[in-house]
Amino acid sequence: MVTLQPTARMGWDTISAVVARILAAYPVYSILLSILSILALSAGLVNIRLEPDIRKSFSPEDSDAGYETRVWLEYYGLKIYPERAFCIFTAKSENGSILQEEALRDIYTVDNRLVQAVGLRDGDGRRNCDPLCDLNSPFHLLANQTRKNNGTTAVFTYPDMPYSGLDIFLGLHFSNVDFKPPTHRISSRSLVLWYFSRSDTPEGKLAFKDAIDELFDLSKNSSAFENVEFTIFSDQVANREMIRGAIEATTLMTIGFFLLLTQVIIVIKRLSSIKMTAYLVATSLLTPMAATIASFGAICWMGFPSFSIQCVTPFLVLGIGVDDAFILLHRWKHHIAISDTPRRLEQVIVDVGPSITITSLTNIIAFGIGFFTPTPQMSLFCLTASLALLLDYIFTYTILAPIVFLCNDPTYQSVPKDETISKADTWLAKYSRFVCSLRGRIVCIFVLIGMYGLTTYGVMTMRTTFEPAKAFPSNSKLVDSLSNIKPVFNRYFPITVIVNNPPNISNEIEYDSFHNMMNRLENVPGIRGDNRSLIFLPQYEAYDKLANSFSILLGDKYRPSYDSLPNWMDAIGNPPLVKYHLDEKNKTVVTSFRLTLLGKGMSEWAERARAMQHIRTVLREEQQFNATLFDCDSAILSIILTVGTDLIGSIAVTVVCMAIVCFVFIANFNAVAVITSIIASICYVLVGGLSLWGADLDPVIQVDVLLATGFSVDYTAHVAYNYFRARGSPQERVYSSLAEMAMPMCEAGLSTFLCMLPLIFVPTYAIVCFAKTVFLVVAIGLLHGLFILPVVLALFSRNSIDEKDAPPPAAITLAADQPLVDKNLDAV
């Protein structure tokens, strides 16, 4: 048998009573002090800063990805990560080729516009694209050679094109290639061109932005070019498209606000007099809104940036915040028979204080734990929501409760029922009897079997991955760009490795050790082997051997060295392949160099993430070379592989915190065990439900489920807390708890549903996924809270509590002034 510990009950009742007496004595001062606090915190909004860098929204500075980016920037002599863009051209004709003259003219129209932008020089004469101006040289060499041969090229092999003694790699530019070895002719339906632009000069940044914006608008016109279709992707456009998705979400959620407003008006009109309805509606809505504004201000005072996903925070807090208002107003009306207004407020706070505190603390903790997720935008979203919910909890007492107290209408009388009816004649009594019956338990078992069966299937089939397209509206042209780049990444995907402690190639042991590392890297799953990596050493060795051919003819044994490196670099145009200098003895000293591993099948981000992790492992084990990999998207890739274990760990920590909070208020191990089990059940069913609804296991789902863990307590704590406070048989206690909480819970669930409903129409995966999570947790939570939990509570509470003090089982007066549960609180 589970019971509420009297000491815990009286302790929290006493605290609630003291708070109520203070609020009743100084209601105006409480409201004014709260308003001053809101204004002080909100003043921080003058420092609001929207983070424009999409990479920073996924990876913190102290992560592996952050370190690898700093090494990459240092190698190229950059201080700020450059803007990147790529254009994908596809021949419109099924049998067409982008190497035909007509297609090349269209391609050069786009290429020349971007080359002009990135070729802008700063005050030091440095081009905006330096040191990455030659990324598209392989294409330009091929195009020029094709034009010289009247549209055909028959002098090279694919994917390497011999040119001036070098092998030029073409695989990073072409896909859907048709290469005919007998004739050595090549055609390709698709082409990718890559562009980088430094972000350290305002003029260069603006020039690149203007070119990108112009071409992005042009890409939306399918008839812009006669022979090719093209799409473009850039960091600037990606940031803008993410903001566009946030604006669309905010616009649609305004509709949700009016739906919520309608519901709040209807509910409060039933609970108060007409002349006070407007004040109570305004306070119920403005309290969570003010808490959200103050929370954003506090975040700005702390120096944190804001991310686009935080646009849903006001509506989220609003949907949650009105729940407490519903509960408080229901109890205010319930105690209408108490004519002494301060005593009535005390009774209401004593009744609802602990359960509101439980649910508020659990939501605050759940979002607070989300702050420690590795994704900065999700972390700050959780921190903002956690602070907003904390402030809303405080303002519920310091603003809402005093205004309810001041708006008391002595002339208002609720309409009582004229007749006293038997419990057995009410639907709630029949439902309570069903819940406690054998038939109800059997139905509950079948519901659980079916639900857990579907959930397990969903969990087992859930994919662990993340697609960047999920961050943008589905109607964005960026989604097409990311889809079109997949064939290139499936064929050849570049993974840069910076070697900061190069081997001494004259030392045979050291050079062999380096070759051993390269062999290990090329044997990583997903990485092309057979010396397919792009590294300068083999071609340089051929040049060095040729430079030393005379001594070799004289019988000297060839030993590679870096002595010929300056001449070789001059001969090939000094690309940023190697960093070197001459020492005091005029010897060439190589300080670092770049190599590129080529992956295959890398359009699937989970495969990329696994390959990155394997490469990191090899490089750490071969630490003598101080090598570091770099991938433009490593900020996202680094969190994909751990999202499953992070999700389980986060849920476990959150559930434990929920259990501790519940134990503080209920102080009964059996009761807390039941509540914790129900919370875990809701979370498990939620994950499976999201999978069945099309969601993947990714960082977005990780945070959504974590937040839903806090929501799940709302649908268990209220019913459980009131069940343990009630007296009588299990059936009477089920009836009492549902009579008090079923309607407020349904109203709360409906308010959250209405507020989030418009989000389902936002064409952005991250936002839609959040809406799905809310819908599912509301439905699953209500099922558990109104059916499964009462069945479990009644099953493990066979004995009656204080049966002699319980109301007569035969009948109950349903007038508004008749307490549904005799709590005997006069002693407080």
- The model's confidence at residue 319, banded by pLDDT at 50, 70 and 90, is confident
What is the tens place of the pLDDT at every residue in 782-803? 999 899 999 988 887 766 555 4
Bigger pLDDT: 95 or 587?
A: 587
pLDDT value, residue 293: 92
Length of the chain: 828
Instruction: Label the pairing between strands 421-422 and 493-499.
Output: unpaired
d(CA 711, CA 708): 5
Whether residue 627 is predicted with pLDDT greater than 70 in this model: the reply is yes
- The model's confidence at residue 723, banded by pLDDT at 50, 70 and 90, is confident
d(CA 717, CA 352): 11
60: DSSP letter = -
pLDDT value, residue 592: 92
Phi-psi region of 626 (alpha: psi -120 to 50; beta: other; left: phi over 0): left
- The model's confidence at residue 824, banded by pLDDT at 50, 70 and 90, is very low
Mean predicted confidence (pLDDT) in 514-533: 88
Question: Residues 591, 579: contact at Cβ < 8 Å?
Answer: yes
Whether residue 13 is predicted with pLDDT greater than 80 in this model: the reply is no
- The model's confidence at residue 804, banded by pLDDT at 50, 70 and 90, is very low
Instruction: Label the pairing between strands 185-197 and 228-234.
Output: unpaired
* Helix 643-666 × helix 699-725 angle, to 10°: 20
Whether residue 550 is predicted with pLDDT greater than 90 in this model: the reply is no
- The model's confidence at residue 591, banded by pLDDT at 50, 70 and 90, is very high
Question: Which range, 623-627, 740-744, 824-828, has the best average confidence (pLDDT)?
Answer: 623-627
Whether residue 339 is predicted with pLDDT greater than 90 in this model: the reply is no
What is the tens place of the pLDDT at every residue in 225-247? 888 888 888 878 887 887 777 77
Long-range contacts formed by 381-386: CB under 8 A, 24+ apart: 381/307, 381/309, 381/310, 381/313, 381/703, 382/703, 382/706, 382/707, 383/299, 383/304, 384/292, 384/295, 384/296, 384/299, 384/310, 384/313, 385/295, 385/313, 385/316, 385/317, 385/707
d(CA 54, CA 632): 11
Mean predicted confidence (pLDDT) in 561-574: 86
Mean predicted confidence (pLDDT) in 613-619: 91
Amino acid letter for position 133 = C
85: DSSP letter = E
Whether residue 819 is predicted with pLDDT greater than 70 in this model: the reply is no
- Taking Cα atoms as reference points, which of 536, 463, 541 lies closest to residue 499? 536
Q: What percent of the chain has pLDDT over 70?
A: 88
pLDDT value, residue 730: 85
What is the tens place of the pLDDT at every residue in 487-505? 888 888 888 999 999 999 8
Amino acid letter for position 279 = Y
Bigger pLDDT: 468 or 731?
A: 731
pLDDT value, residue 809: 34
Grouping H, G, I as helix, E, B as strand and the rest as coil, residue 640 is helix
Whether residue 448 is predicted with pLDDT greater than 90 in this model: the reply is yes
pLDDT value, residue 493: 87
Amino acid letter for position 482 = L
d(CA 431, CA 453): 26
Mean predicted confidence (pLDDT) in 473-480: 78
pLDDT value, residue 57: 59
Question: Residues 146, 158: contact at Cβ < 8 Å?
Answer: no
How far, CA to CA in Å, does 704 sit from each of 381, 765, 770? Answer: 11, 12, 6
pLDDT value, residue 182: 64
pLDDT value, residue 472: 75
Mean predicted confidence (pLDDT) in 307-329: 79
Question: Which range, 251-255, 288-292, 335-339, has the best average confidence (pLDDT)?
Answer: 288-292
Mean predicted confidence (pLDDT) in 71-91: 87
- Taking Cα atoms as reference points, which of 378, 383, 533, 381 lies closest to residue 466? 378
Whether residue 410 is predicted with pLDDT greater than 80 in this model: the reply is no
Whether residue 9 is predicted with pLDDT greater than 60 in this model: the reply is no
Two structure tokens written together for 100: 């035909």
Mean of per-residue pLDDT scores for the chain:
80
- The model's confidence at residue 52, banded by pLDDT at 50, 70 and 90, is low
Residue whose structure tokens are 């490593």 = 634
pLDDT value, residue 153: 53
pLDDT value, residue 4: 40
What is the tens place of the pLDDT at every residue in 183-226? 667 778 888 899 988 877 788 888 888 898 888 888 888 788 88
What is the tens place of the pLDDT at every residue in 167-193? 788 888 887 777 666 666 777 888 889
What is the tens place of the pLDDT at every residue in 647-703? 777 778 777 877 787 777 766 777 788 888 888 898 889 989 999 988 888 777 877
pLDDT value, residue 704: 78
- Taking Cα atoms as reference points, which of 323, 374, 382, 457 lies closest to residue 781? 323
What is the tens place of the pLDDT at every residue in 136-161? 888 888 888 776 665 555 545 677 77
- The model's confidence at residue 56, banded by pLDDT at 50, 70 and 90, is low
d(CA 749, CA 755): 10
Bigger pLDDT: 141 or 812?
A: 141
pLDDT value, residue 165: 64
Mean predicted confidence (pLDDT) in 31-38: 93
Q: What is the DSSP annotation of 686-751?
A: HHHHHHHTT--BSHHHHHHHHHHHHHHHHHHHHHHHHHHH--BSHHHHHHHHHHHHHHHHHHHHHH
480: Cβ–Cβ under 8 A, 6 or more apart, which residues?
231
How far, CA to CA in Å, does 442 sit from each of 435, 445, 455, 787? Answer: 10, 5, 20, 12
